[in-house]
Structure 1
């Protein structure tokens, strides 16, 4: 039980963690087999395990802890990070995990853990919940979701999530935009966040920054063949007409 109690402090562990306790690989492997047989731990995937609660035998770690433990540099990102921060409009049964170390997408406990290549660790923080979870902070999460709308649940889902946020740090937003240095991202971020400027307490300098980094190219926020597109000259974007109508009181959702 001493081994179990020590591993319980981690929640999710690998054979290397057990080896650190025993100092012997064979003894560590034998200990894991014993814990599995007793139902004290469950195998998530090859060389990744989760401790189970003694009473109900359910995993003690949630999807966020599991996701951020898949590799040494893994962290929760995109829509999964929105959910972690409590502003996901819908609950998804997949967990977006960014990492520099590649892993194959897999399923566990009814959740799909999907790999995303990490571009930077700026804005990744460790939150002291459920034995420590690495997640992108709110500003990095918003920029990532605007960058990769498909990993945000789509444009409508992102807009619904933005309605639930009360503050974003303009300086941090600019920092992450600068790291990516993608013109289309400056356009999208400026256009989308301008609608929530007052609600998010965004500074004028943020939008000036976005505009300064836009050149002459015109882009489509959604798809070229979408109906009822209008051109926004300020952000040089073709956007759905009345895109934000559903975010207003009594507004209908996009279809």
Structure 2
């Protein structure tokens, strides 16, 4: 089919992209309509499409690539960044991605694409196929900052237990960018918990402690919850079930 090679080259594309290739709006509209009917492409969302593998009847690109191609500057973030790197415990039917320009949530191929707007452009990495994703260090801090977007505190603990020898300077860079006392507190407590396998120095922890406030916060929520123990060093109220497990030797299998 004419223009099929162009479709494959584009991979994930907008209606405007096809109009640039064909250079005739009416012909482009007709081309899109025919291609949809024949299964050469599939609509991802309004005015956005993905090329299809016509043999297997599946998109040629995975959910991560699709999300990053929907807008210039988009990148994979939060639990999806952990998932992409294999640090997830749960399998989510939600793909979280970020960028500067707001995008409404939508569903494609049984996956909900959830956009989180961000003004932080630090530590966004690109891999060989053009996928943009937050660094592991930024992902860790982002997940602590918005625990609900990480899949919960238990998911964070399991993920962090599998991560080794990170760059603590990158962690501090992101923390200082956000510059939130509560985030310093939560991060200090969690990073100290996993300091050995993460490779966190005492100097880095001392720096974090110098940035915390005098007010207590809760490890996994912004609201007061029962059955917690106050960690006086970080002024963090930790749920009993987590502190009990940690006291037994960091057995993440019990979470």
After TM superposition, the score normalised by the length of structure 1 is 0.91
Task: State the distance in 1 between where 2:252 and 2:84 align.
Answer: 27
More divergent stretch after superposition (213-222 vs 26-35): 26-35
* Per-residue deviation, 1:198: 1.0
Task: State the distance in 1 between where 2:102 and 2:252 align.
Answer: 42
Give 1:179's aligned residue: 177
Which of residues 139, 158, 161 is equivalent to 1:160?
A: 158
Could you tell me whether the CA contact under 8 Å between 1:186 and 1:210 is conserved in 2? yes
What CA deviation, in whole Å up to 9, does each residue of 1:70-95 have, x standing for no partner?
22222111001100111111110001
Give 2:254's aligned residue: 253
Give 1:92's aligned residue: 92
Alignment partner of 1:243: what SS? helix
After TM superposition, the score normalised by the length of structure 2 is 0.91
Give 1:134's aligned residue: 132
Alignment partner of 1:168: what SS? coil
CA 1:94–1:201: 2 relative to 1, 3 Å: same
* Per-residue deviation, 1:61: 1.1
What CA deviation, in whole Å up to 9, does each residue of 1:120-144 have, x standing for no partner?
1211122224xx2111111111110
Task: State the distance in 2 between where 1:251 and 1:56 align.
Answer: 39
Give 1:146's aligned residue: 144
- Which ranges of structure 1 fall in alignment gaps of 5 or more residues? none
Task: State the distance in 1 between where 2:252 and 2:21 align.
Answer: 58
Task: State the distance in 1 between where 2:97 and 2:235 align.
Answer: 32
Aligned residues: 251
* Per-residue deviation, 1:250: 5.5
More helix by share: 2
2:214 aligned with 1:216: yes
